[in-house]
Amino acid sequence: MRWRTVGGRRGLEVSAAVAFAVGGCVVGSGYRPPGWREFDAWAYLLTVGSAAPLAVCGRYPFAAVVLSNLGYSAYLTIGYQPSVNWWCGLLALLVVCELRPWRTAVPALALTMAVMVQSGIAGGLAPGVVVAQALLAPPAGALIGFSMRRAGERQAELLRAARSAREQEDRARRAVVDERIRIAGELHDLIAHHMAVISVQAGLAGYVFSSDPAAARQAVDTIRGVSHEVLAELRTLTGALREGQDGPAGSASGPPLDALPGLAEIAALVERSVRAGARVDYRQEGRTGPLSPGVELCAYRTVQEALANVDEHAGGATTEVVVAQSPGWLRVTVRNAGDGERGASGPVEEAGHGLIGLRERARISGGELSAGETGDGGFEVRLVLPVRPDPSAEGATGQGS
Backbone angles phi, psi at 175, to 5 degrees: -65, -40
User: pLDDT by residue (tens digit) across 75-89?
Assistant: 988 988 888 888 888
Burial of 225 (0-12, 13-18, 19+ CB in 10 A): buried
Burial of 394 (0-12, 13-18, 19+ CB in 10 A): middle
Residue 229 makes CB contacts below 8 A (sequence gap 6+) with 194, 292, 388, 390, 391, 392
Q: For 326-331, what is the mean pLDDT? A: 88
* pLDDT at 249 (0 to 100): 37
User: pLDDT by residue (tens digit) across 133-169?
Assistant: 888 888 888 888 888 888 888 888 888 888 888 888 8
Strands 279-285 and 329-336: unpaired
Tell me the domain boundaries of the chain: 8-125, 170-244, 260-392
CATH number of 260-392: 3.30.565.10
What angle is formed at CA 214 by the lines to CA 211 and CA 217, rounded to 5 degrees?
110
Is residue 328 pLDDT above 80, yes or no?
yes
CA pair distance 292, 290, nearest whole angstrom: 7
User: pLDDT by residue (tens digit) across 336-354?
Assistant: 876 554 444 444 444 334 6
Q: Which of 334, 327, 343, 339 is nearest to 369 (CA)?
A: 334
Pinpoint the alpha helices (H) of 276-324: 293-313
Q: Which of 124, 106, 155 is nearest to 35 (CA)?
A: 124
